[in-house]
């Protein structure tokens, strides 16, 4: 039994999204693969990793976010919808946008921008120093 349950509303929403994108269950090849990584004996003994291939588009998705096979099936279908929407609309998925945001945040600043930032901080420090009490 998993901690997280998929509500009927979430299942319905996913079914609607799949219908909107033209994904039919008969066009999916679904396999369950032996899991690996964190999770201990449970993961190593059960085939909870889900592999889905959408035959018309050729998109393949592999998902092992949870130890539960049912949750992984749900997540894999959601990832498939995101990947297909990304291909159709040309827009980036939420996951990819989040990854790019993190990459931008971690990117090293150029020397010039770093110098400007440090200059601004130095000026701010000088302003704060002027606010200090005057010793008599």
Q: How would you write 60-87 as a 3-class SS string? A: EEEECCCCCHHHHHHHHHHHHHHHHHHH
Does residue 126 share a domain with residue 63? no
Q: How many domains does the chain have?
A: 2
Does residue 80 share a domain with residue 110? no
pLDDT in tens, 75-106: 999 999 988 888 887 766 677 788 889 998 88
Quick check: is 2 in a domain? no
Quick check: is 39 in a domain? yes
Quick check: is 3 in a domain? no
Quick check: is 1 in a domain? no
Q: pTM score > 0.85 for this model?
A: no
Contact 74, 65 (CB under 8 A): no
Residue 109, domain extent? 98-130
The rounded distance, in Å, linking the Cα atoms of 30 and 35 is 15
Does residue 102 share a domain with residue 53? no
């Amino acid at each position: 039994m998993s901690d997280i349950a998929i509500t009927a509303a979430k299942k319905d929403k996913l079914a609607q999204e799949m219908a909107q994108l033209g994904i039919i269950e008969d066009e999916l090849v679904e396999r369950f693969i032996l899991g690996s990584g964190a999770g201990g004996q449970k993961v190593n003994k059960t085939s909870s990793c889900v592999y889905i291939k959408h035959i018309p588009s050729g998109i393949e998705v592999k998902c092992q976010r949870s130890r539960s096979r049912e949750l992984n099936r749900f997540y894999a279908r959601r990832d498939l919808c995101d990947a297909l929407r990304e291909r159709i609309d040309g827009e980036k998925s939420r996951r990819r946008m989040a990854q790019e945001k993190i990459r931008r945040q971690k990117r090293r600043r150029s020397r010039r921008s770093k110098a400007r930032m440090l200059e601004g901080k130095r000026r701010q420090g000088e302003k704060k120093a002027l606010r200090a009490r005057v010793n008599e």
